[in-house]
Structures are given as structure tokens and as C-alpha cells.
């Protein structure tokens, strides 16, 4: 499956409520922007209040009458996750889409979350695992009112092509014995994809109306590929290299397309994994089925990982 799917193909999201983590930047903001344009009430779940408020103001400036809310969420703190989920549940509102988008990528030195987890595993995996489990009642509430397959609520977890090189080191999940920035990131993104697929298996086993799927943005342009402060010949060379690299990468807006497809398209299915179809899945205007590495399909390892996540977070669901 591959098609030239654009935001123009998105169905109306009027009456639907969407929560996006890390929605103030990266692919999170363009995803929030397009959902708001289609009429959704969008909750921007952001770690930094100042940046979150700036994103809300910007979105309201770009979308007249936008229904947007701000939630201050630090995925590196289970207490913060519990507080945000608790406030959301107290409102008694259905949640139609949860987009697990925020993430930490390859800090050069090992860092820890407030709960003592390696920051990439703790944020990318455990924070989102806990948030999803705690918000499941709101998703089930939305499922109860769905009148068609297309209206079923969805959990979209953003993975990465980096998962293909990842492996789950059950003997050292927190990278205490040895820390490699990229290996820890690859592990976290593999775990995200395994979580999304395992959640769908558990939802199906219970005939739930909620769907779980995953998406990846390819490789979006970041400040890493912007020209720096070099001068002379170095600046010329830097600009040439940046141009070559940039030609292979997605913009943030293009990178958000697979996430939006998973979150809204009638053709998207539970257990699906979607991404761009260009060179090495790095870029492309068409959205299609993404490649799932063999290790991500290991159901026994996924079940074990689920149990570990429950133990580490104290959040148990679909068990």
C-alpha cells in the first residue's frame, strides 16, 4: 500500500479530541496544526510551559477559531504523567486520538529521568507506556460512542527507522553497564514499535474498540543539518554538505504525514506501521506500510517487555 496522501485527504475531525505529546516542535506541531484545521480539539502536551504557550499562541494565529489546550507534561517524570492523566480523566471527556510523539534522541552522556531511568528509555518508552495505560479509560469512552470503523479511537506511537538496528537488552535496559547514545536510542524506538504492536494484539484479544498503530517520519530536517558559523572555504563546503543531506530529508511538515495518516485515515488499520516511501524510507510525499524489523515482530519479547514496563511504571493495563 502506498499512495500520495496529503492533509487534503484528512477527513473532518470536528467533535474529536486529540492529545499529542511533544506538540510544540518537530513533527508534533505540524500534526497539531493540521488536526486543528480539520476541527479537532487538540491538547498540546508539552514539557516546557513557555514553549507550550508560544505554540498555542502560534496555532491560534494560524487557525481561526482553533480549539486548542495546553497540558504541561514531563514524560521523564511518572508523577507528571499521573497528574496530567488524572486531570484529563477527571473531565470525563472521551479521547479519540492519543499521539505518543515526544522523544529524546541520543544525548552524548548518559542521563536519568526523575525516577532513575536512562532518559531515552524512561521518556520514549516508559513515559508513553504509563500515559497510554492511564488514559485508556478515556479512549474506551470514545470507543463506546463510535458508530463506524473510521471513528474508532486510536493510539499512534511514533517509532523510527532506527528501530531496525535496535535490540532490547533485557539485562541492561537502563544502559548502566555500558552507554552508547545511538544504541540506547535504537533500543527505545524498537521498544516503542513493539509496544504499539503488542498493544494492538491485547486490544484485539479483548474485542476493544480502541486501535493501536505506529508511524515514523523518515528523517526530518533538524538544526543538525543547518549551516553553522564557518567562514570562507569551510562555509562553502558546509553549505554544500548541508544541501546534499537536506535533499534526502523530510521537512517537519512532511514528516508529520505518516502520523496524521495513522491518526485519521479510514484506510489505516490497527497494528499498522506507516512511513514515507522514498529513499530508505527517509523521505517521500507518499505514505505507505513501513518496514518492520524481525526483532520487532518477536511476540514473546514484546510480552516480556510489556511486563517489565508494568513493573517499572506501576501502571498495569490489558494484562
pLDDT tens profile 4-36: 899 999 999 999 999 999 999 999 999 999 999
Query: Which triple of cell numbers denotes residue 246?
Result: 537536506
Phi/psi class of residue 281: alpha, beta or left (left: φ > 0; alpha: ψ in -120 to 50)? left
Q: How many angstroms separate the CA atoms of 67 and 42, rounded? A: 6
Q: What is the pLDDT of residue 224?
A: 34
Q: Name beta bridge partners: 154.
A: 97, 211
**Is 179 labeled as catalytic in the residue annotation?**
no
Extract the residue ranges of the chain whose pLDDT is less than 70. 1-3, 220-250, 284-285
Nearest of 284, 296, 125, 289 to residue 220 by alpha carbon:
284
Give tens-digit pLDDT for 75-109: 999 999 999 999 999 999 999 999 999 999 999 99
Query: For the chain, what percent of residues have pLDDT higher than 70?
Result: 89
Domain contains 105: yes
Please give the residue range of the domain that contains residue 289.
14-219+254-312
Three-state secondary structure call for residue 13: coil
Query: What CATH code is carried by the domain that includes residue 140?
Result: 3.40.50.720
Residues 134, 21: Cα–Cα separation, whole Å: 14
Rounded Cα distance, 18 and 120, in Å: 24
pLDDT for residue 279: 76
Alpha helices in the chain (DSSP H): 28-37, 49-62, 78-90, 119-120, 128-145, 181-205, 232-247, 252-255, 257-264, 299-313
Please check whether residue 229 lies inside any domain of the structure.
Answer: no
The answer to whether residue 139 sits within a structural domain is yes
Dihedrals phi, psi of 10, to nearest 5 degrees: -65, 130
C-alpha cell at 198: 503488542
Q: What is the domain count for the chain?
A: 1
Percent of the chain with pLDDT over 90: 84
Residue 267 lies in a domain: yes
pLDDT (0 to 100) of residue 285: 67
The β-bridge partners of 220 are: 250
Contact status, residue 203 vs residue 271, Cβ threshold 8 Å: no
Evaluate whether residue 204 is within a structural domain: yes
Contact 34, 10 (CB under 8 A): yes
Asked, for residue 242, whether it belongs to a domain, the answer is no
From the number of C-beta atoms within 10 Å of its C-beta (0-12, 13-18, 19+), residue 176 rates as: exposed
| Residues 262/153, Cβ–Cβ less than 8 Å | no
CB 41, CB 14: distance < 8 Å:
no
DSSP-assigned states of every residue in 75-142 = TT-HHHHHHHHHHHHHTT----EEEE-------SS--B-TTSSBHHIIIIIIIHHHHHHHHHHHHHHH
Q: Look at residue 286 in the predicted model and tell me its pLDDT.
A: 82
Spell out the residues 6+ positions from residue 271 whose beta carbon is closer than 8 angstroms to its own.
Answer: 197, 200, 201, 204, 211, 212, 213
Q: Euclidean distance between the first and final Cα of the chain, in Å?
A: 32
CA–CA separation, 7 vs 9, rounded Å? 5
Q: How far apart are CA 222 and CA 251, in angstroms?
A: 9
Task: Name the grid cell of 212.
Answer: 493501536
In-domain check, residue 6 = no
Within a domain: 82:
yes
pTM reported for the whole predicted model? 0.92
Active-site hit among 29, 185, 261, 274? 185
Q: Which residue has the cell 498540546?
A: 44
User: Average per-residue pLDDT in the chain?
Assistant: 91
Amino acid at each position: 500500500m502506498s499512495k500520495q496522501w496529503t492533509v487534503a485527504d484528512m477527513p473532518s475531525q470536528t467533535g474529536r479530541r486529540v492529545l499529542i505529546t511533544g506538540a510544540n516542535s518537530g513533527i508534533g506541531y505540524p500534526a497539531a496544526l493540521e488536526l486543528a484545521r480539520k476541527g479537532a480539539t487538540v491538547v498540546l502536551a508539552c514539557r516546557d510551559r513557555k514553549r507550550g504557550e508560544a505554540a498555542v499562541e502560534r496555532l491560534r494565529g494560524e487557525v481561526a477559531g482553533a480549539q486548542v489546550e495546553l497540558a504541561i507534561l514531563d514524560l521523564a517524570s511518572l508523577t507528571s504523567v499521573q497528574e496530567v492523566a488524572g486531570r484529563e480523566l477527571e473531565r470525563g471527556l472521551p479521547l479519540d486520538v492519543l499521539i505518543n510523539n515526544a522523544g529524546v534522541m541520543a544525548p552524548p552522556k548518559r542521563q536519568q529521568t526523575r525516577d532513575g531511568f536512562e532518559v531515552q528509555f524512561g521518556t520514549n518508552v516508559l513515559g508513553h507506556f504509563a500515559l497510554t495505560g492511564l488514559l485508556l479509560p478515556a479512549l474506551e469512552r470514545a470507543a463506546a460512542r463510535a458508530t463506524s470503523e473510521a471513528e474508532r479511537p486510536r493510539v499512534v506511537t511514533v517509532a523510527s527507522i532506527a528501530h531496525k538496528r535496535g535490540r532490547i537488552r533485557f539485562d541492561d535496559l537502563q544502559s548502566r553497564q555500558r552507554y552508547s547514545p545511538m544504541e540506547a536510542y535504537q533500543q527505545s524506538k524498537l521498544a516503542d514499535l513493539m509496544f504499539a504492536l503488542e498493544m494492538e494484539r491485547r486490544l484485539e484479544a479483548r474485542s476493544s474498540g480502541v486501535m493501536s498503530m505506529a508511524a515514523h517520519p523518515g528523517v526530518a530536517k533538524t538544526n543538525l543539518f543547518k549551516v553553522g558559523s564557518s567562514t570562507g572555504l569551510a562555509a562553502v563546503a558546509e553549505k554544500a554538505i548541508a544541501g546534499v543531506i537536506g535533499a534526502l530529508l523530510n521537512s517537519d511538515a512532511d514528516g508529520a504525514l505518516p502520523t496524521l495518516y495513522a491518526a485519521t485515515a479510514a484506510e489505516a488499520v490497527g497494528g499498522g506501521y506507516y512511513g514515507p516511501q522514498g529513499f530508505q524510507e527517509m523521505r517521500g510525499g507518499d505514505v505507505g506500510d513501513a518496514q518492520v524489523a524481525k526483532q520487532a515482530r518477536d511476540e514473546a519479547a514484546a510480552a516480556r517487555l510489556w511486563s517489565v514496563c508494568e513493573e517499572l511504571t506501576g501502571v498495569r493495563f490489558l494484562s
